[in-house]
């Protein structure tokens, strides 16, 4: 489920009670961060009705919230490959526009193959070269 609007306590509590809690088949400990819309008293009471326990993280303790660390890793990987793809486009797309594919099929295929090889080297290699030179 994806929710793209501003999260409210009422919406989260409804989802918590109607979707999350019924989906847990065994008694569970639900670890929650301290988002503003997580009203712990309400969530603890709802969880108890279903036989579960809510355990809040300590305030200001992102090191205990592993999803934050993983989300940060995912964002850095995304940025790295986004920069590589953008650099590739900036470097080679204007050149591709100059090729007359009907007249120079042999050379066009060779050129495209070389572009793929160069792009693969950038993907497998260190993208710092691109980041420092292009942007």
Whole domain around residue 48: which residue ranges?
A: 9-64
Last residue of a domain, one of 42, 64, 86: 64
- pLDDT score at 47: 96
Tell whether 72 is covered by a domain.
Answer: yes
- pLDDT score at 134: 46
| Confidence band for 21, pLDDT divided at 50, 70 and 90 | very high
Please provide the average confidence, as pLDDT, over all residues in the chain.
77
Tell whether 83 is covered by a domain.
Answer: yes
- pLDDT score at 122: 64
**CB–CB of 122/130 below 8 Å?**
yes
Residues 75 and 58 in one domain: no
Last residue of a domain, one of 64, 85, 104: 64
Tell whether 24 is covered by a domain.
Answer: yes
Q: How many CB atoms lie within 10 A of CB 21?
A: 18
Residues 38 and 51 in one domain: yes
Residues 73 and 58 in one domain: no
Question: Among residues of the chain, what percentage have pLDDT more than 90?
Answer: 28
- pLDDT score at 89: 65
- pLDDT score at 131: 52
This model's pTM is above 0.75: no
- pLDDT score at 108: 63
Residues 79 and 91 in one domain: yes
What is the three-class DSSP state of 29? Answer: strand
Residues 59 and 72 in one domain: no
> What number is the average pLDDT over the span 7-24?
93
Residues 58 and 20 in one domain: yes
Residues 52 and 110 in one domain: no
Residues 40 and 88 in one domain: no
Q: Is the pLDDT of residue 13 over 70?
A: yes
Residue of 49, 55, 53 lying closest to 17 (CA atoms):
49
How many domains are there within the chain? 2
Supply the DSSP string of 87-118, one letter for each residue.
HHHHHHHHHHHH--TTT-HHHHHHHHHHHHHH
99-133 pLDDT tens trace: 655 565 556 666 777 777 776 666 666 555 545 54
**CB–CB of 29/58 below 8 Å?**
no
Last residue of a domain, one of 19, 42, 64: 64
Give the Cα separation of 79 and 69 in Å (integer): 16
Tell whether 2 is covered by a domain.
Answer: no
Q: Is the pLDDT of residue 48 over 90?
A: yes
């Amino acid at each position: 489920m994806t929710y793209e609007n501003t999260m409210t306590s009422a919406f989260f509590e409804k989802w918590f009670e109607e979707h999350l809690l019924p989906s847990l088949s065994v008694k569970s400990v639900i670890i929650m961060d301290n988002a503003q819309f997580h009203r712990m008293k309400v969530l603890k009471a709802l969880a108890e009705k279903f036989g579960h326990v809510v355990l809040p993280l300590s305030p200001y303790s992102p090191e205990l919230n592993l999803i934050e660390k993983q989300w940060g890793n995912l964002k850095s990987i995304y940025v790295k490959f986004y920069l590589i793809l953008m650099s590739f486009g900036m470097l080679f797309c204007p050149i591709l526009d100059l090729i007359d594919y009907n007249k120079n099929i042999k050379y066009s295929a060779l050129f495209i193959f070389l572009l793929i090889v160069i792009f693969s080297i950038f993907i497998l290699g260190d993208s710092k070269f691109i980041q420092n030179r292009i942007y």
